[in-house]
Amino acid sequence: MSLKKLIKGLRQESRPEKKCKKALWRQLDHQFDHMYPGAKRLVPRPAVIIAVVVLIAVGVGTSTYAYESPEVVEGHPLNFLKQNIENFEGKIKFSPEKKAEWHLKMQDRRLAEAEHFVNKNDFRKNLFEKGIGEMGQGLDEAKRIKLKDKRQEMLEHISAMEQKHIEMLRQIKPQLSEYSQQVIERIIAEHTKRIQEKVRGFETDEQEQFMPLKMRRFRIMHVGTSGINSSSDVIVTADALPDEFGNVQIFMLQP
Amino acid sequence: MNKRDFKRFYSKNFDKIYRFVFFRVGGDRDLAEDLVSEIFVKALEKFHTYDPKISKVSWIYTIAKNHLANHFRSKYFRDVEPLEVDVWWQDQTWELIDSQADQKAFYKMLKNISTDEQRLVTMKYIEGYNYQEMSEILGKEKVTLRVATHRAIAKLKKLAKKYELKEINQRAEAGKPARKKV
């Protein structure tokens, strides 16, 4: 066994992929232009330096405002800045864990924006749709995690995030009109169906870890005069959001 | 400062930093790529403070070391010093590395030499630093580093021979012919 050959093998194995190197450079290249506008033409004259510093400060300030403010959504003139920053964040995540975390962060951000507008009596359906949709993508990424421990950790995290968002929806629901409440119910019902399908792809013990589904799936027994005569599985939607004690109320129109 | 400088800096350091991170995260490619991205984004943010006359490689190396220390701190919920990161890789599990048995044997052999020697061998032969760069990073004379690295390699060669003998004996006991040298 030659030492030289061993070292060469190890060097080969630890060689970064060209695709990754190129992709990261593209992102950094883009970011460079944002961070250092006019860097190539920089002349060491005080007036120019001051102007560039002011430009950078204004640019950074505007980007920070765009990124942080829940007010900046589709239709806002600064929305393109927010989207650029978020997309950049997403593109430099390569591992499924980090990607899943990024989708959860985006879900959090979209729902926070939606809540912000609800507080201003403005119901934005697309923000709810986008926010809830991010979770499905988070689950897709979680499925790609190779180590079981890490995968379970991520599922617990996703589950905790969903609990948080259910709680948020429960709190804002009374502020909405009847029509908006129905829209939210529909979005959640569709989302629940999709999530159920996705969760089926995980191992059985992992599926059980996914608490929100356990909370929302019920078996209803239809009781007639001669005893139980039929049963069916129901998925409860926004109408049955759990209260602070975890209790869920289900109203049946027809047994 | 212009983009060309940054591109040159990026091309020169990417592979070295990637390998530095790769061995310290147990060979997890995805995680290594994420961390390297974050390291270069940090470097870009601070690039206006970078002076190649003062430091050629140790600047990015320090950023990488501190970033990894932060990563381990958040992962293991304990204080991890950047200095610890230098020799961290020896404790990593190599579950995710799809390496051949020989390469795993090399890893075992490395564990039989001192941590300083391991650091020199990996810096020089795996991460790909030259003695000038190593001297800048480690703060030691070039000549001293060259001698120490040669000694470490000599030790590894002896260990490789021992390992080879052991393997031949094991194969003979199992009734298998010795492996052909390629």
pLDDT at B130: 92
Euclidean distance between CA atoms B8 and A55, whole angstroms: 26
pLDDT at B149: 94
Domain boundaries, chain B: 1-96, 99-176
- Give the residue from A128, A137, A134 showing the smallest Cα distance to A74: A128
Span of A30-44, A165-179, B123-137 with lowest mean pLDDT = A30-44
pLDDT at A69: 84
As given in the structure block, the two tokens for residue A152 are 């379970």
Spell out the residues 6+ positions from residue A40 whose beta carbon is closer than 8 angstroms to its own.
Answer: B2, B3
**b/e map B107-119, b = 16+ CB within 10 Å:** bebbeebeeebbb
pLDDT at B16: 93
**pLDDT band at A233, cuts 50/70/90?**
low
Hey, is A223 helix, strand or coil? strand
Which residue from B7, B23, B105 is facing A14, i.e. has the nearest CB? B23
Q: If one looks up domain B1-96 in CATH, what number appears?
A: 1.10.1740
Taking an 8 Å cut-off on Cβ atoms, the answer to whether A25 and B167 are in contact is no
How many contacts, defined by CB atoms under 8 Å, are there between A and B? 118
Which residue from A7, A24, A98 is facing B126, i.e. has the nearest CB? A7
Residues of A in contact with B9 (CB under 8 A): none
Residues of B in contact with A97 (CB under 8 A): 30-31
**pLDDT band at B135, cuts 50/70/90?**
very high
Q: Are A165 and A111 in contact (CB under 8 A)?
A: yes
pTM for this model (two decimals): 0.53
Domain boundaries, chain A: 24-92, 95-215
Taking an 8 Å cut-off on Cβ atoms, the answer to whether B1 and A20 are in contact is no
In tens, the pLDDT along A91-150 reads 888 888 888 889 988 988 988 888 888 888 788 888 888 888 888 888 888 888 888 778
Which residue from A14, A42, A93 is facing B34, i.e. has the nearest CB? A93
Distances (CA, A) of B176 to A44, B168, B171, B173: 74, 9, 5, 8
Q: Determine the distance in angstroms separating the CA of B149 from the nearest CA of chain A, rounded to an integer.
A: 14
User: In percent, how much of chain A has pLDDT > 70?
Assistant: 76
3-state secondary structure A81-129: HHHHHHHHHHHCCCCHHHHHHHHHHHHHHHHHHHHHHHHCCCCCHHHHH
Given CB atoms, is B33 within the 8 Å cutoff of chain A? yes
**pLDDT band at A217, cuts 50/70/90?**
very low
Euclidean distance between CA atoms A202 and A164, whole angstroms: 22
Q: Are B90 and B118 in contact (CB under 8 A)?
A: yes
User: In percent, how much of chain B has pLDDT > 90?
Assistant: 29
Euclidean distance between CA atoms B57 and B39, whole angstroms: 14
Given CB atoms, is A29 within the 8 Å cutoff of chain B? yes
What is chain B's mean pLDDT, rounded? 80
pLDDT at B14: 94
What is chain A's mean pLDDT, rounded? 75
**pLDDT band at A173, cuts 50/70/90?**
confident
pLDDT at B41: 92
Q: How far is CA A9 from the centre of its chain?
A: 40
Q: Tokens 């039989």 belong to which residue?
A: B112
Given CB atoms, is A11 within the 8 Å cutoff of chain B? yes
Spell out the residues 6+ positions from residue A11 whose beta carbon is closer than 8 angstroms to its own.
Answer: B19, B125, B126, B128
| Mean pLDDT value across residues A162-186 | 79
In this prediction, the answer to ipTM > 0.90 reads: no
The better pLDDT of the pair B35, B88 is held by B35
**pLDDT band at A44, cuts 50/70/90?**
low
Gyration radius from chain A CA atoms: 25
What fold, for B99-176? Arc Repressor Mutant, subunit A (1.10.10)
pLDDT at B90: 47
DSSP secondary structure letters along A99-112: HHHHHHHHHHHHHH
As given in the structure block, the two tokens for residue B164 are 């080879």
User: Letter for the amino acid at B60?
Assistant: I
Which residue from A11, A27, A94 is facing B126, i.e. has the nearest CB? A11
The better pLDDT of the pair A107, A229 is held by A107
